[in-house]
Amino acid sequence: MKIAPSILDADFGKLQSELNSIETSDRIHLDIMDGHYVPNLSFGLPVLKGLNYPIATEAHLMVNNPENFIDMFAQIGCGIITFHIENTGRAKALELMKSIKSQGIKPGICVDGYTDVAFLDDAILAQAEQICLMSVKAGFGGQSFMPEVLDKIKNLRARGYQNEIEVDGGVTLDNVASLKDAGADIVVVGSFLMNQDYDGRGKTIEAFQGV
Ligand code: DX5
Ligand code: ZN
């Protein structure tokens, strides 16, 4: 299984060495929160621009008006941008995916833990290069995994969705095999990984990749 560590639970006093400690993972997951769409704040461009990324990054936008944040991630060389369809609605989601693609970035749609995947119609699935299924309610790290996500993954695969499916929230080495069996490609791992020391992180990343 591929792993994209979330740096939400990193030590923000030494972010560069925190990033270096996860360089054997597959991608770095940047959780962007504005205190409006979700009741929490994370970090923005001034922080992100000051860092060197040892591997590719993806941005998970939990913000109102996500269209205002695309240039910011183009500036730091982000490879994938996902935003919440509950926030934009369907028409704006299609438009925004087109505009992200035009900047050479892969567009993805994120679905919150309590949203039904029936919300994703065929036109959305046809354009989304990643579907990020949350297995918690968006806004905070360290929540418990919602097993309902397993049926959502299976549902998307049964409908023929072949691009990347990512699962975000509450993922540990105890539930990653079930996610793989259901058809997920990559998992976001925050607290389970970032609460460990650097040596432990390296071993844990390897353990995820071995599943
Ligand atoms: C929650 C974020 C997640 C989260 C992952 O809103 O999108 O990326 O921080 O952290 P854990 O693995 O602790 O749930
Ligand atoms: Zn996330």
Please enumerate in sequence order all residues whose Cβ is within 8 A of that of 139, keeping only pairs 6 or more positions apart, or say none. 33, 38, 39, 40, 62
| Whether 168 is catalytic | yes
Instruction: Give the type of residue at 100.
Output: I
Mean pLDDT over 3-17 rounds to: 97
Catalytic residue among 9, 26, 112, 168: 168
Q: What is the pLDDT of residues 90-126, one digit of tens each?
A: 999 999 999 999 999 999 999 999 999 998 999 999 9
The predicted structure's pLDDT at residue 83: 98
Report the predicted TM-score, pTM, of the whole model to 2 decimal places: 0.98
The yes-or-no answer on residue 31 being catalytic is yes
Give me the residues paired with residue 189 across strands.
5
* Helix extents (H) in the chain: 15-20, 45-49, 70-75, 85-88, 90-102, 122-127, 149-158, 176-182, 191-194, 198-209
Residue range 54-58: mean pLDDT, rounded: 98
Which of 1, 31, 175 most suits a substitution to test ligand 1, by most atoms within 8 Å of the C-beta?
31
Task: Please compute the mean of the pLDDT values over residues 42-62 and round it to a whole number.
Answer: 96
d(CA 94, ligand 1 centre) in Å? 25
Q: What pLDDT sits at residue 110?
A: 98
* Number of the ligand 1 atom closest to the C-alpha atom of 193: 12
Q: Is 83 near ligand 1, meaning CB less than 6 Å away?
A: no
pLDDT score of 119:
87
**Ligand 1 site, residue 30, Cβ cutoff 6 A:** no
Distance CA(65)–CA(88), nearest Å, equals: 8
Is residue 177 classed exposed, middle or buried when 0-12, 13-18 and 19+ CB atoms within 10 A define those classes?
exposed
